[in-house]
Structure 1
């Protein structure tokens, strides 16, 4: 994987093969960040990266100037890799090793943007639980956005607070906003 833009542009990051991850493709990530770039100033937002995996999305935010980034993942290897990479590049990324659903139930941390990249084989009920917890616990700041990455074969348009979706290859991003 590589960083698309910002101060770490073109840096390659090689994750260990044994991590249980499916990093967002460069094409999909570039398209996603083009959308986000039109909505926010990167240096003025806080980001919560759920199911962070390799930290791919968080590195992109850090490279573009975001200074308040928190990654949540339940896998120790993923958290260790994110910590090592963010230390190496001196990126302002905090990590929390936790089950994402338990974290969302207990946290009061609010963010401008919450990005979730759960396993593509999640059930609709599991996908639905993410926006349910985010909105019922008021975890988005004013004009905040929840983005869930999923397979193009999964339809989340019926879930409360769904705004729109964008498809890139086999990837889809569903955007959720407070009503």
Structure 2
């Protein structure tokens, strides 16, 4: 029974290793410009950035001056904070928003600074596909090239793990 558990754990590890790597990014809103603060042009700040589904926006601000509200486009354009979609303000001035839907998110501050530009529209895209491997130089793969890295290495590691588990029983 213990051997089956070890084998299952080893196979699960190798399955996880073979999955493509996708990493979410945490972006500090207004980084390099003082964070989420008045008198910052967020339209300029956001224009050369790409945001992908799963990324995080990190709002750092003075909680006594501003807040973070998600609103619809109409409320964004008019700086109307009467009916926010979500209030992300926790009161500590360090709020994180997960961008978990591909859409345009609209954030404003409701304390009058929106009219001075304290608002940001963030377009969230689907993550780009992982880069494709370059084509093999030889059109007919050999047995070694077919197994290299994709099957051969995990099999060697699995055999080593099984060997260790057998030695531990002796």
Structure-2-length-normalised TM-score: 0.26
Structure with the bigger percentage of strand: 1
Which is greater in Rg? 2
